[in-house]
Amino acid sequence: MLIYNTLAKQKEEFIPINPPNVNMYVCGPTVYDYFHIGNARSFIMADILRRYLEYKGYVVNYAMNITDVDDKIIKKANEEKKNAKEIAGTYISAFFDDLKKLKVKNASIYPKATDHIEEIIDMILKLEKNGIAYNVNGNVFYDVSKFTGYGKLSGKKIDELEAGARIEVNEEKKNPLDFALWKKAKEGELSWDSPWGKGRPGWHIECSAMSCKHLGETFDIHAGGNDLIFPHHENEIAQSEGATGKQFVKYWIHFGFLNINEEKMSKSLGNFFTARDILKLYSAEAIRLLFSQTHYRGPLEFSDELLKAAEKGLEKFSNLIDKINMELYTHPNSLQGEQGINPNINFERYVNNFEAAMDDDFNTPQAVAVLFDFVRDINKVIAENAKLSPEFYSGVKEFLFKTAQGVLGIVDLEKSEIQGSSIEKELIELLIQLRNEARKEKNFNLSDKIRERLKELGIELKDSKDGTTYKKVKK
Ligand code: AMP
Ligand code: ZN
């Protein structure tokens, strides 16, 4: 499997440090507002990378940080006359809600900066001890001239960086590229005690400290949007390697921008749509299909038309899924394999093509093309044969389940599974309601009877904390 490594500036064979484990860190949100659909591109592509690694059999330990102390959060808190903690709390829960709606799988851990102040201070102390950090009146800076590898990720020399970067003038710094590790507290700001006095961490140090704590000093994959290569990720390398003396990350992965009218979507330019607003108009599957149709490293031009086209493309999948479910659930006889021919479909070929695409630096546009070819070929087989075997339909479903749903998340086989007329659905809902009433009255005899009789009719109930759902199963 090949991955384009920003550090090596080429595709490299993916060899994890300790297979089958893969440790992966992705820079997450600064929680001062709802995230926009550009941020969503990075979160969704990271999710697809992670899902594909799991598909390949890797055990992925996935950390995404939450920046919950930062200038932007403090500014918002001041504007809204709230404290920074309240602002962060509001947007952390919005962040989780929106990720769930986008069908992004939960990371293994979402470490927050404010929960890791001790680890952050420890790392700054190490840098101080190694002669790389200096304290000026309670502000601690990183001295980039002391780290010989500075610039290796962005591929730039220190003098070029100095000329190109917009760096704030700060008389306390020895070199304009030096960056803050610890910021002295201003009146009334959220702050913590430290060896340098009251203050708060700079942005870059949280990722070095938290990735080290949760994934180790050296780990496999670090990802984020292209805008983070410099200075954020360059600084993370300088901090982590400056503190430990070991290689920080093996593979650096960066996502291209989502653009609007050829300009990067961003809060500061004001040319953004929040993910939650887009989700009111389009399905998560359509958004994911649109993103998958562009390679993760390239730019993606965002528009209504493209989302509409993605929604249309999805109909090809949902029509096929409906057809399969009809066959599998409404003709229970066919489930006993009594009838129907088993056409000679080489599922393996499609699996191989899908994997070949994904193994080549996660070539999702190619993988999507394989899936559309698959749907077209299967539709042809269905049109040409009067009766096909349940094994054939199950095979089709299994392939889509593993690839289109499992890796790309562009279909939801469960969602399409509920067939039947609306009166059928209403009757099932009515029985569920009656069963819940029986349970409330502790009439378990009746509630069990309802469950069992429905099961005999091929309808299975599932209870969860969000209520009771049902699905059709083999009778
Ligand atoms: P932020 O909350 O701004 O720190 O961004 C969270 C993530 O979204 C980071 O990985 C950014 O690199 C990424 N990101 C921000 N804007 C865009 C964009 N227009 N397209 C793709 N990714 C973006
Ligand atoms: Zn980061």
Residue of 227, 234, 262 with the most ligand 1 atoms within 8 Å of its CB, for mutation = 227
- The answer, yes or no, to whether residue 147 has pLDDT greater than 90, is yes
Return contacts of 414-417, CB within 8 angstroms, 24+ apart. Answer: 414/471, 416/318, 416/321, 416/322, 416/325, 417/325, 417/329, 417/471, 417/472
**Does residue 289 or residue 414 have the better pLDDT?**
289
Residue 199 near ligand 1, beta carbon < 6 Å: no
Nearest CA to ligand 1 atom 15: 39
- The answer, yes or no, to whether residue 422 has pLDDT greater than 60, is no
- Strands 199-201 and 21-26, how do they pair? unpaired
Ligand 2 center to residue 235 CA distance, Å?
Answer: 9
Is the distance from CB of 90 to CB of 171 less than 8 angstroms?
no
**Least confident residue range of 204-208, 372-376, 410-414, 459-463:** 459-463
> What DSSP designation does 227 have?
G
**Does residue 161 or residue 456 have the better pLDDT?**
456
- The answer, yes or no, to whether residue 412 has pLDDT greater than 50, is yes
| % of the chain exceeding 90 in pLDDT | 80
pLDDT-based confidence at residue 334 (cuts at 50, 70, 90): very low
- The answer, yes or no, to whether residue 269 has pLDDT greater than 80, is yes
Residue-level pLDDT at 231: 94
Is the distance from CB of 148 to CB of 206 less than 8 angstroms?
no
Residue-level pLDDT at 298: 98
pLDDT-based confidence at residue 112 (cuts at 50, 70, 90): very high
Q: What are the C-alpha distances in Å from 254 to residues 27, 282, 422, 438?
A: 11, 26, 46, 55
- The answer, yes or no, to whether residue 321 has pLDDT greater than 50, is yes
Is the distance from CB of 145 to CB of 134 less than 8 angstroms?
no
Nearest CA to ligand 1 atom 21: 257
**Does residue 416 or residue 302 have the better pLDDT?**
302
Instruction: Give residue-wise pLDDT tens across range 65-111.
Output: 999 999 999 999 999 999 999 999 999 999 999 999 999 999 999 99
Residue-level pLDDT at 161: 77
Residue-level pLDDT at 426: 73
How many other C-beta atoms can be found within 10 angstroms of the C-beta atom of residue 313?
19
**Which ligand is nearest the CA of 254, by number?**
1
Query: What is the Cα–Cα distance from 356 to 105, expressed in whole angstroms?
Result: 24
How many other C-beta atoms can be found within 10 angstroms of the C-beta atom of residue 54?
16
Residue 27 near ligand 1, beta carbon < 6 Å: yes
Nearest CA to ligand 1 atom 12: 225
Half-sphere exposure of 62 (CA within 13 A, CB side): 21
Instruction: Give residue-wise pLDDT tens across range 351-406.
Output: 999 999 999 999 999 999 999 999 999 999 999 998 899 899 999 999 999 999 99
**Does residue 266 or residue 159 have the better pLDDT?**
266
Instruction: Give residue-wise pLDDT tens across range 449-475.
Output: 999 999 888 888 888 776 787 777 766
- The answer, yes or no, to whether residue 335 has pLDDT greater than 60, is no
Ligand 2 center to residue 413 CA distance, Å?
Answer: 35
Query: What is the Cα–Cα distance from 5 to 13, expressed in whole angstroms?
Result: 10
**Does residue 169 or residue 238 have the better pLDDT?**
238
Residue-level pLDDT at 429: 81
Residue-level pLDDT at 459: 85
Residue-level pLDDT at 52: 98
- The answer, yes or no, to whether residue 339 has pLDDT greater than 80, is no
**Which ligand is nearest the CA of 297, by number?**
1
Residue-level pLDDT at 330: 58
- The answer, yes or no, to whether residue 273 has pLDDT greater than 70, is yes
Residue-level pLDDT at 41: 98
